Amino acid sequence: MTSRTLLRLSVVAVLASGLISAGCGGSASKDELVIGEYGSLTGNDATFGQSTKNGVEVALEELTAQKQGKIGGLPVRVQVEDDQSKAEEAATVVQKLINQDRAIAVLGEVASSRSLAGGPICQNAGVPMISPSSTNPRVTQVGDYIFRMCFLDQFQGTVMARFTAQNLKLRKVAILKDSKNDYSVGLARFFTEAFTGLGGSIVTEQAYQSGDNDFRAQLTAIKAKNPEAIVVPGYYTEAGLIARQARELGLKQPLIGGDGWESEKLIEIGGDALNGCVYTNHWALDLQEPRLQAFLKTYRDKYQGDPDAIGGLAYDAANVLFGALEKLAEQDPQTFKGLASSKAGSDARKAAEKRLRDLIATTTSYPGVTGTITLDENRNASKPAVVIEIKGGKKTYNSSFNP
């Protein structure tokens, strides 16, 4: 070995040891509870991630006000990662949250496709993941460490079908779904099953792909079939654009959507074209529920705007997680210590995460702002859905459906 290679090797060794000690130093000096959160802070569905982040921040702020931001003596830190509205990116950031940030639990995502990308990673690592608002049934079927705070698309699709058939008294509808999106494909299927069961018929089913911005060809094909309504089980960006282009092509039928429409941007994009359209949602801001109204007040003081249901569900998800952590700290302080950031990778951490999972799974009658949350044996919440009608550029409450 020449002296030059030796020199290079020693430089590498010094650098490597420096990195390792820096890594250890960081976590040993300050023990904390790291909670990972991932969402679409940018990209096509940016308001989903931003609303989730805001909801979690409100919960964290309340924890700071009431308990100095500590659970069981350890300060809580939420590490947020952006997946740019891409499923591939979601898998990468969840890997990072678990392997680098050593998160004890993960909050996220809204979009079912991205929850399905992150879920298996959490399941394999034994880290509990709570999706606040992914409604596709497959999300929690990934494994016993995956939970959700909202209803499922079987129920949502049924509500949409019942509202269309019974309240609007329509029989012939067209579907325009996002063929690359698990949520949209699933919701379209559940709607079709329920709607044909109620005696309605689907005159045509057309598809687009997320990110498209021209839907005229599909809408022209729909127009030729002359349906009484168009079901658009996709996300808000495309729904707004579809509404505008439908009106331009002379289609005056109402559009019917699901909770993917829930965004402050929906009306900004679709404008007047959305008047008379309806969608199913997790809450309506004009409902006089005391818990909801209290949350609204806090939220408006902090952000000078209205939250959407996505933010409300994230707030509930964060509080359910905090509640489970507090319970663990009280019942079994010894096991709880395994969650401290210095214990990352140890057997104590594994055991503590197992206990945390069990406690989240037993969530019963939790009084959330989006309704009472009880998790069933499949780790899903069963909650009522509301139908929102857009009138004069405003989202207004129309009716509620119980499961």
Partner 1 sequence: MSEFLQQLVNGVTWGSVYALIALGYTMVYGILRLINFAHGDVYMLGAFFGFFAARFLNAARDPSPFKALLVLLSAMVACGIIGIVMERAAYKPVRRSSRLAALITAIGVSLLLENGGILLFGPDPKFFPQIIPARNIALGMGVTISNQQILILSVSLVLMFALRFIVLHTRTGKAMQAVSYNPMAAALMGISVDRIVTFTFMLGSMLAAAAGVLVALQNPKIEPLMGIMPGLKAFVAAVLGGIGNIPGAVLGGLVMGIAEVLVVGYVSPTYRDAIAFVLLIVILLVRPAGILGRNVAEKV
Write down the least CB distance from residue 363 to partner 1, Å.
Answer: 34
Name the minimum Å distance from CB 66 to partner 1: 34
Minimum CB–partner distance for residue 207 and partner 1 (Å): 5
* Closer to partner 1 by Cβ: residue 119 or 227: 227
Residues 246-255: contacts with CB under 8 Å, at least 24 apart: 246/215, 246/219, 246/273, 247/273, 248/216, 249/216, 249/219, 249/220, 249/223, 250/223, 251/219, 251/222, 251/223, 253/227, 253/228, 253/229, 254/168, 254/229, 254/230, 254/278, 255/229, 255/230, 255/231
* Binding-site member from 248, 286, 306, 358 for partner 1 (CB under 8 A): 248
Strands 385-391 and 278-281: antiparallel
> Which span sits near partner 1 by CB under 8 A: 113-121, 167-175, 237-245, 348-356?
237-245
Helical axes 309-331 vs 290-303, angle rounded to 10°? 100
Q: Which of 19, 249, 287, 294 binds partner 1 (CB under 8 A)?
A: 249
User: Is residue 354 a contact point for partner 1 (CB under 8 A)?
Assistant: no
DSSP-derived letter for residue 375 is B
Choice from 21, 64, 220, 396 touching partner 1 (CB under 8 A): 220
Q: Is 172 in the site for partner 1 (CB under 8 A)?
A: no
User: Is there binding between residue 305 and partner 1 (CB under 8 A)?
Assistant: no
Nearer to partner 1, 215 or 283 (CB): 215
User: Is there binding between residue 286 and partner 1 (CB under 8 A)?
Assistant: no
For residue 173, the minimal CB distance to partner 1 (Å) is: 18
Structure tokens at 156: 């949502």
Question: Under a CB-based contact definition with an 8 Å cutoff, are residues 352 and 336 in contact?
Answer: yes
- Interface with partner 1, residue 88, by CB under 8 A: no
- Is 221 an interacting residue with respect to partner 1 (CB under 8 A)? yes
Rounded CA-CA distance 38/34 in Å is 13
Is 275 a binding residue for partner 1 by CB under 8 A? The answer is no
> What's the rounded Cα separation, in Å, for the pair 258 and 249?
23
Nearer to partner 1, 165 or 390 (CB): 390
The correct pick among 271, 276, 323, 384 for binding partner 1 (CB under 8 A) is 271
Q: And the tokens for 32? A: 């904390």
Taking the CA atoms of residue 192, residue 196, residue 198 and residue 201 in that order, the dihedral angle to the nearest 10 degrees is 110
User: CA 346 → CA 18, 102, 349, 353, distances in Å?
Assistant: 23, 11, 5, 11
- Measured from the Cβ of residue 154, the count of other Cβ atoms closer than 10 Å reads 18
Contacts (CB under 8 A) with partner 1, residues 356-395: none
Among 212, 264, 289, 326, binds partner 1 (CB under 8 A): 212
Binding part of the chain for partner 1, among 102-110, 158-166, 241-249, 253-261 by CB under 8 A, reads 241-249
| Phi then psi dihedrals of residue 171, to 5 deg | -120, -30
Q: Report residue 345: phi and psi, to 5°.
A: 85, -10
Cα 254 from Cα 296, distance rounded (Å): 29
Using CB under 8 A, which residues numbered 15 to 74 contact partner 1? 42-44, 46
Cis previous bond, 81, omega within 30: no
Residue placing its CB nearer to partner 1 in the complex, 11 or 224: 224
Among 115, 181, 184, 237, binds partner 1 (CB under 8 A): 237
Query: Minimal CA–CA distance to 54: which of 37, 71, 66, 35?
Result: 37
Q: Strand, helix or coil at 257? A: strand
How many residues lie near partner 1 (CB under 8 A)? 31
Interface residue with partner 1, options 70, 171, 172, 244 (CB under 8 A):
244
The single residue among 216, 297, 300, 394 that binds partner 1, judged by CB under 8 A, is 216
Q: Which residues bind to partner 1, rule: CB under 8 A?
A: 42-44, 46, 84, 179, 206-209, 212-214, 216-218, 220-221, 223-224, 237, 241, 244, 247-250, 265, 268-269, 271
